[in-house]
Chain A
């Protein structure tokens, strides 16, 4: 059974089989017609044919993040966003007439624990979907579990791409969406010619820099240095000296975690004033969350390339920021990933309603093309490759720890998790 399922899913690869779509449409239509006759909420036996934890008035989902261990720093915001979204959906009447209940599990910053907990959520709790994971390592650890038991994971972090599972919806940007627009902007607006690539030593920065380097080469510009430091490295004086020697126009930084704080503090202490933009610092790893630890005065003047900033001026975002602060406290900040995590429950709700069912196969079939006009980042749409169409923005860090948005792509950028030449 499990192997059969797996085989049929791997066929899903790039495009969804048309038959499946039609089938789901027919089922959805039938359910809707029936529900109109019976009651406001369709019968449980119709919306749940696969034994999920759905009752006549509730549906259970899972939240799986680290609330202890190293990653708790980053994942806390995602947990808060997902809970807020669930509460708001419930206040609006829930999904298919059912209130959402959640079971929260702690991945404890430990990848085998993530796998174990996801198995518990899918097998014991029979949750209809899971919102969770943060690092690529944790996602890779739970992936086989989700594929074996046919679960649905909404994954919020911007990540390196090179993955597309039928059992995951990626609500953050994949690397090309985030990087190419950033480099194009810095080349066009700031006339950058030379780049220094610097990152922590693991898969995301390495893949990101590979994509960046390829793009820079294509533009006929020059990478003057590329370097990686172990996770948790706290001494950057040597590399700062190297940067001073090479005098690049742009430092393209994907340093993460505790290293981030050390890097920016030492950069400032070494006399590099980022507001002078000589060199200009362009980062893809520092959200408002990270600035809390770094300190706004230590990163003032740096640019970040991502899809969401708390300061984004639109009505959706104003309402989101207000609700978030009311729920979790006034001094809280919201970063890119937190917003992407907030999209998860909403995208799932939309897909369930389109499918007229909680069944994972039907939700999957209904997902491509789902639009969200109420997203804080503006408008998003699920691509058949399970990533989101989204705009990329450039923010300029200010001393108060917020970004001022200086640029936004005109069009939504198509997600391209398998860029040419990286397989």
Chain B
């Protein structure tokens, strides 16, 4: 298929395809981090993860409208405000949900699956009632749309770079929080041995609530960022949920490093195959590849070693 092209053209395309893979990687990381924290640290399967993301997207939509109406001069920077608000809104909703629902179900993992699925349906209908069944168009500041032209052919989308920066920033932030802060130590000790953590004076209920809130808040930020690349509608969250679970399960549920490694593997595999094969076939092969690895390593790529 490459016979008709010159070497420089091919080099450019490969460079761009490399970027495409990295952007996909960043998107996967953003999608999966929130879920990985909740699933990995608390053992709760949050089926409503997509809806928390869409909450972030709707917050972005509202913020953009407010800025357009009242502060048109500052419109270029509304996106940062929107992301912060999205984090707060999704995080607050997450903590509320944890308090009202999740904490009563900690010892019944299958029930949390059903309960959060029900929650996702409720949230979808709520969005539909408030914002209407149609998708809303989020208008973005001009500087976010468009691309940087490096050579004649090589162009890098700015929103891709933005998503990449955000993914790196959040990952580093979470890693610092988990492995450097006092709160992170508490979370990890609750994961490893809940009764013992409680016995040494850690308020496990509070740790749980904050962890769940943090996971949901990150989902909100991801949703806010995804208004740049995807749709915002009541059911748009469903578009991301399968890929998100795929990344988390493949990575090994309890390891953040695993999530990142898994996002990298899957995104590179998928974007390379998409280039050489057709879109649907690439997806099929990606899924087959993941199934095959999971057959050999049911615990995922990385897993926490601990005494049972």
Task: Report which A residues bind B (CB closer than 8 A).
Answer: 67-70, 72-73, 76, 201, 226-230, 232-235, 237-242, 244-245, 257-258, 260-262, 265-266, 268-271, 289-298, 401
Contact = CB atoms under 8 A, between A and B. Distances in A.
B137 A234 contact: no
B111 interface: no
28 contacts: A67-B133, A70-B235, A72-B234, A73-B133, A76-B132, A226-B278, A228-B280, A229-B280, A230-B279, A238-B271, A241-B275, A242-B275, A245-B5, A245-B9, A258-B233, A258-B235, A258-B236, A258-B239, A260-B231, A269-B147, A269-B158, A269-B160, A270-B155, A271-B146, A271-B149, A293-B232, A293-B233, A298-B145
Nearest to A237: B20
Contact of A269 (B145, B270, B279): B145
B275 A238 contact: yes
A350 B232 CA distance: 40
Nearest to B243: A234
A227 B145 contact: no
Given A258-B239, A269-B157, A269-B160, A68 B125 contact: yes
Most B CB contacts (10 A, CB to CB) among A68, A238, A240, A289 go to A238
A297 B275 contact: no
A240 B19 CA distance: 12
Contacts of B155: 270-271
Contacts of B117: none
Contacts of A292: 134-137
Contacts of B140: 295
Interface string B7-49: 0010001001101100110010000000000000000000000
B153 interface: yes
Interface string B107-136: 000000000000000000100100011111
Nearest to B226: A234
A106 B158 CA distance: 42
B42 to A, nearest CB: 27
A230 B145 contact: no
A239 B274 contact: yes
Interface residues of B, number: 52
B65 interface: no
Contacts of B99: none
Given A269-B159, A289-B134, A258 B146 contact: no
Nearest to B157: A269
Contacts of A262: 229-231
B235 A69 contact: yes
Contacts of B228: 265, 269
Contacts of A270: 147, 155, 157
B299 interface: no
B134 A261 contact: no
A73 B137 CA distance: 13
Interface string B211-248: 00000000000000010111111111011100000000
B139 interface: yes
B68 interface: no
Given A201-B279, A271-B157, A293-B134, A261 B235 contact: no
Of the candidates B17, B20, B158, B279, the one having the most CB atoms from chain A within 10 angstroms of its own CB is B279
B283 interface: yes
B274 A244 contact: no
Q: Which 9 pairs, one residue from A and one from B, show the smallest C-beta to C-beta distance?
A: A293-B135, A261-B231, A237-B20, A229-B279, A238-B274, A269-B157, A271-B147, A72-B133, A295-B137
Given A72-B234, A237-B24, A244 B134 contact: no
B138 interface: yes
A293 B136 contact: yes
Given A72-B128, A238-B274, 16 more contacts: A72-B133, A227-B278, A234-B226, A241-B13, A258-B231, A260-B231, A261-B230, A265-B159, A269-B146, A269-B158, A270-B147, A291-B137, A293-B135, A294-B137, A295-B139, A297-B139
Nearest to A298: B145
Contacts of B133: 67, 72-73, 76
Interface in B133-184: 133-140, 145-147, 149, 153, 155, 157-160
Contact of B240 (A234, A241, A266): A234
B279 A73 contact: no
Contacts of B236: 258
A271 to B, nearest CB: 4
A258 B135 contact: yes
Most chain A C-beta atoms within 10 Å of own C-beta, residue among B24, B236, B275: B236
A241 B16 contact: yes
Interface string B275-287: 1001110010000
Contacts of B275: 238, 241-242
Nearest to A226: B278
Nearest to B155: A271
B279 to A, nearest CB: 4
Contacts of A298: 145
A268 B27 CA distance: 18
Contact of A234 (B149, B160, B239, B274): B239
